[in-house]
Structure 1
Amino acid sequence: MSHHRRSAEAHPRVPADDVPHARTWMSWPSRRGVWGLRLGGVQEDIALIARTIAQFEPVVMCAPDDWTADKARARCGPAVEVITAIPTDDLWMRDIAPVFRRDGYGGLEAVVLNFNGWGNKQVHHDDARVAERLAAHRGLRHSFADFTGEGGAIETDGDGTVMATESSLVNRNRNRGMSRDEIEDAVLAAYGADRMIWLPGIEGKDITDDHVDVTSRFVRPGVVMVQLPPADRNDAWARDAREQFAVLSAATDARGRRLHVIVVHGPDSVRSRSSEFVDSYLNFHLVNGGVITAQFGDPYKDTAARDTLAAAFPGRTVVQLDVDRLMAGGGGIHCSTMHEPLP
């Protein structure tokens, strides 16, 4: 492997989600062993997300075999490219794809986060190899991060600051034997960042151990958005959200800015009865000219969330989708997508 001599100016860095994208990567759910009788409904939601994103930018959907790929094409329509070169086990592309990093020379490279099924909670024979295979498919040089994690576990502002929950990374099921400081150093090195903001999170309540991207997101450098629950909720997730709000409200970023925190209020009611349901407006996916997010059938809160996102991302069209069946599976729109930035 050739070693490029890096000048002092070259600073590889993972950019923020809001940069122009070349495409969005997705993965077609196909395993009855994972989804059981819910598979068809989840496929419909993934197809809806893919068709919606395709109105804004190219979408590449990975499928494990030709038979599955044909089903995906039939559901997604001609605007979505479906390929079998990168087989997958499940749909959570945010966590299994590589993180794309600008190399400092006008090019793109891929960082493999060593996906291990969120701490070996789910079979991931193919998913563990998606990051490498995707990099090879795109002809990108790749490197391995010095920690085990997932794209959905780490938010970056593209300007030197990242944030994550301790529960998802400082966890024996991902990084046994590593201290928080060692994990922090490894994350900062992988992302080309200078400062880590740690949020406590919740261990063991969901498959991800509480990924940050359902509760707190960077809007731009110096600005974060946090979803807060209705005042009468006091479950573990509600307490976690309030704690994230408190930490971020007191935090400064790599440039010394005190973070400005925009609040989105979570829905008062949802249609789903699933105990796994993720009622997050903040698990949105930014696309070229758009913001793709969820709605939950709570007219007042749905509208308020849409308006807050529209104000936070001026010039982007906010599209709200009913993806209840996906979100009953413990993740959302951001979780099921990975953006590939332009170099």
Structure 2
Amino acid sequence: MKTGPKGPSSGILCGVDFNFNGWGNKFRTETSVGLGTETCVGLARTLLKDLKIERIESSLVTEGGAIEVDGEGTMVATESSIINDNRNPGMSREDIEAEFARTLGIEKFIWIPGVHGVEVTDCHIDAFVRFARPGVVLLSKPSSEESRNANSVWVRAYKEAVDVLSGTKDAKGRSLEVIEISEPNVSEVAMDEEFLKAIASSELPPPAFNYANYLMVNGGLIFPQFGDKRSDAAALKTVQRLFGSERDVVTVPLQELPLMGGGIHCATQQIPLSISVSP
């Protein structure tokens, strides 16, 4: 969503109709592009019409979880989930940035390398780096168990993210404050023994056990708890410190959804308020 057809300061709520192709053609879905029928690609158009929200077409293939913005012109995303031929073949970084600038009013892009091909999303940003507020980001840090794996792609991705975030400024020229939240240890998560065995044997995709995939709602924040008591408590304390004065932090137990590769934010789509933003 953006607030304005000609620029994000117009105060008119619009919806950007990005394209979807099953996370880089990994899955065939009825809403994927390229299936040959108008109804297959008309979900966003239909929803926007029903909600009486102006539609903006886009040539980009992307997903909501791939985009994180601060509301003041800055976007953070992973290269692996957007600048990727499985979604946007033939488009350069400059092409993609120009389209996001046109549709979302983005002025500053912060690209983190991410991870290709290990899980379905190619490392969505909404389970990795989130804006707590302009100038402040939460960074998901691999668990102590994962960090002991010298060959972990997630540890490598985390270190790359630290390097990028610590060395950049946002659209307003601010250096970013980076606050890390350690992920829970899988061995401590409240799960059936069968699930633990399936994860250990790679019968399931890497589970999305992280605290970054929370959901902001009006006056509140819905926050996951996984059953690792120490990690749950530490993460909750961090977000309460960050959001407690302005949002009620409500926790929910979450076990099954991460096993399918997602979390609270993945399963939702917020509609922002229509507000004017001063340039």
Query: CA separation in 2, counterparts of 1:233 and 1:334?
Result: 28
Q: Which residue of 2 aligns with 1:287?
A: 217
Q: How does 1:251-330 map to 2 (within 5 A)?
A: 251-268=168-185, 269-272=188-191, 273=196, 274=199, 275-276=204-205, 277-313=207-243, 314-330=245-261
Q: Cα offset for 1:335?
A: 0.5
Q: Cα offset for 1:165?
A: 0.5
Partner SS state of residue 53, structure 2 = coil
Is 1:102 equivalent to 2:3 in the alignment?
Answer: yes
Q: Cα offset for 1:116?
A: 1.4
Q: Cα offset for 1:264?
A: 0.8
Query: CA separation in 2, counterparts of 1:331 and 1:142?
Result: 27
Is 1:113 equivalent to 2:44 in the alignment?
Answer: no
* TM-score normalised to structure 2 length: 0.83
Q: Cα offset for 1:149?
A: 0.7
Q: How does 1:1-343 map to 2 (within 5 A)?
A: 100-103=1-4, 104-126=9-31, 128-229=41-142, 230=144, 231-234=147-150, 235-268=152-185, 269-272=188-191, 273=196, 274=199, 275-276=204-205, 277-313=207-243, 314-343=245-274
Is the 8 Å Cα contact of residues 168 and 201 (structure 1) preserved in structure 2?
yes
Supply the AA of the counterpart residue of 2:148: D
What percentage of aligned pairs have identical amino acids?
A: 41
Query: CA separation in 2, counterparts of 1:322 and 1:162?
Result: 30
Query: CA separation in 2, counterparts of 1:218 and 1:171?
Result: 23
Supply the AA of the counterpart residue of 2:178: V
Aligned CA RMSD, in angstroms, stands at 1.5
Is the 8 Å Cα contact of residues 115 and 122 (structure 2) preserved in structure 1?
yes
Deviations 1:203-225 (A, max 9, x none): 11111111011011011111111
Runs of 4+ off more than 6 Å: none
Query: CA separation in 2, counterparts of 1:106 and 1:256?
Result: 24
Is the 8 Å Cα contact of residues 113 and 151 (structure 1) preserved in structure 2?
no
Deviations 1:246-281 (A, max 9, x none): 211111111111111011111133234234311111
Query: CA separation in 1, counterparts of 2:163 and 2:190?
Result: 29
Total equivalences in the alignment:
244
Q: Cα offset for 1:242?
A: 2.4
Is the 8 Å Cα contact of residues 114 and 144 (structure 1) preserved in structure 2?
no
Query: CA separation in 2, counterparts of 1:300 and 1:221?
Result: 29
Partner SS state of residue 169, structure 2 = coil
Partner SS state of residue 190, structure 2 = coil
Is the 8 Å Cα contact of residues 68 and 130 (structure 2) preserved in structure 1?
yes
Unaligned runs of 5+ in 2: 33-40, 275-279
Q: Cα offset for 1:233?
A: 4.0
Query: CA separation in 1, counterparts of 2:17 and 2:62?
Result: 9
Query: CA separation in 1, counterparts of 2:42 and 2:223?
Result: 28
Partner SS state of residue 327, structure 1 = helix
Q: Cα offset for 1:311?
A: 1.3
Is the 8 Å Cα contact of residues 226 and 263 (structure 1) preserved in structure 2?
yes
Is the 8 Å Cα contact of residues 20 and 31 (structure 2) preserved in structure 1?
no
Deviations 1:9-51 (A, max 9, x none): xxxxxxxxxxxxxxxxxxxxxxxxxxxxxxxxxxxxxxxxxxx
Query: CA separation in 1, counterparts of 2:29 and 2:43?
Result: 10
